[in-house]
Structure 1
């Protein structure tokens, strides 16, 4: 693998480009970005060989295609991307929920990824070259040559690889990631209603606010994509809250 196309060069996508370029400056990295301001920033970064507005503008062969777009966007363009880059060695996404893949047939070169890293920040200007380093990455797909390429790519970025099904992924990360963000958002809204001055906030409140104020549009898509698991998880968590309340 030598050439990469990052579709959606926001915080996660641009961090990925920085990490790949740091590992091998000879990698040829291109990007697709709708935002003109972001395209200008990317073009001036000296990381990218080409910066496109649409995947339809790409006129060359690409070894690895990385979908770094939100779940709804990924679902909408999935089939067109698979057709456009059918000859690529690997196509992968980095979505936090995998329900959009439930009724889809993976082409041989498709592997779904979920690097477990991120931030409440967004946009390429906030990107971090070490974002992926020493974090976990979940892979979903058939164990073929493209799967091996996907493993090698994430391991190149010093990630720890685990394999599971899409259903298992959404169940696990409902509890360990999506529920905490639901709780954080509820706490954020609750605290806002109390109108407590910022000077009086404890560190635990600040951390909850940080989580609860993460990109709402993105997290709404994640919540809706995993809503059935989340409903169960919220009900179970409510039982634990009731137990704590009853012991007071």
Structure 2
């Protein structure tokens, strides 16, 4: 039934923050038959009902999950693991479960260690988001033009993986990529976690704040944009991917040391080449 991706079945979304509520909006736009919203915050649930993005609301899981074919979990990584573990007896046989968490290896290894063979967990990570959190910042178009990463395991059925991929494409994602959980976490340590570490380090640097605001330009604003951070979530993301992030921090320190040495030694040739290489690589992103 799920293979057709027509959403003519019950869907549960766990966590109606920015991402979870955006899933609900996007699915409603695709005429999903019935969306169940699950969130501990009753105010958030009432907002979702008022907005018309969910059809029923629950502040805790229960046996009603036996009627749900597809579950999207938009929680922090540890909460994702705990929710699945706590609801093993509530899930429907052959249910497809996917997540949105920013680390994959630890989450998937943990879930696969206790999830029955009759249930499918497909690791997912939409490369979409904002600096702000909460249902009020949700947007049905947040996925448009974004990449969607799927980290399948050996136990996943092709039809289940294809279902999640088809959903992402219907949301307007420009690309769906399949990589291992290990590869995902290695890349995310460099492209996401390291920039957040740098931004927060810049904001926490001990400098004289007397004329601080007078000297803030576009470069500082761009470099520290992601320092407006969800501290609980990012503490969890950093510590759950610690080995890979520490490795990237060490590499970054070596790059900074190279710049420092070139400045100290007045090595303008190497410094200029370093800058040129940086510009060339940045143009490729554009």
- TM-score normalized by structure 1? 0.92
Question: Whose Rg is larger?
Answer: 2
| Equivalence map 1:87-106=2 (5 Å) | 87=93, 89-98=95-104, 99-105=106-112
Q: Specify whether residues 82 and 172 from structure 1 end up closer, same or farther in structure 2 by C-alpha distance, changes over 3 A only.
A: farther
* Residues 151/133 of structure 1: CA separation in 2 closer, same or farther (3 Å cut): same
Q: Structure 1 72/152 Cα, relative in aligned 2: closer, same or farther at 3 Å?
A: same
Hey, what's the Cα distance between the residues in 2 that align with 1:83 and 1:156?
A: 31
1:144 and 2:158 aligned = yes
Alignment map for 1:40-189 (pairs within 5 Å): 40-56=46-62, 58=64, 61-87=67-93, 89-98=95-104, 99-105=106-112, 107=117, 108-141=119-152, 142-159=156-173, 160-189=175-204
- Aligned equivalents of 1:60, 1:49: Cα separation in 2: 17
Describe the superposition over 1:49-75 as per-residue Cα deviations: whole angstroms up to 9, x where unpaired: 101101126366112100000112112
Q: Which ranges in structure 2 are unaligned for 5 or more consecutive residues?
A: 1-6, 264-286
SS of the residue aligned with 2:72?
strand
List per-residue Cα deviations over 1:102-152 (Å, max 9, x = no partner). 244254421110111111100001111211112111112234321121111
Quick one: higher RCO (CA 8 Å, sep 6+), 1 or 2?
1
- 4+ aligned runs moved over 4 Å, structure 1: none
Distance in 2, matches of 1:80 and 1:145, equals: 26
Q: State the TM-score, normalizing by the size of structure 2.
A: 0.80
**1:125–1:178 CA distance, 2 compared to 1 (3 A):** same
User: For each residue in 1:159-201, what CA deviation from the matched residue of structure 2 results, as whole angstroms up to 9, or x when unmatched?
Assistant: 21111111111011111111111111111212x7432543431
In the alignment, the residues of structure 1 paired with residue 64 and residue 239 of structure 2 have an alpha-carbon distance, to the nearest angstrom, of: 32
Question: What is the CA–CA distance in structure 2 between the aligned matches of 1:158 and 1:143, rounded to whole Å?
Answer: 24
Give the RMSD, CA atoms, in angstroms.
Answer: 1.9
Which of 13, 21, 25 pairs up with 1:18? Answer: 25
Q: 1:139 & 1:86 partners in 2: Cα distance?
A: 22
Give the SS at the match of 2:183. helix
Q: Secondary structure at the match of 1:97?
A: coil
CA distance 1:100–1:109, shift in 2 (3 Å): closer
Aligned residues: 246
Distance in 1, Cα, partners of 2:208 & 2:235: 24
Separation of aligned partners in 1, 2:43 and 2:58? 13
User: What is the Cα deviation at residue 209 of structure 1?
Assistant: 2.8
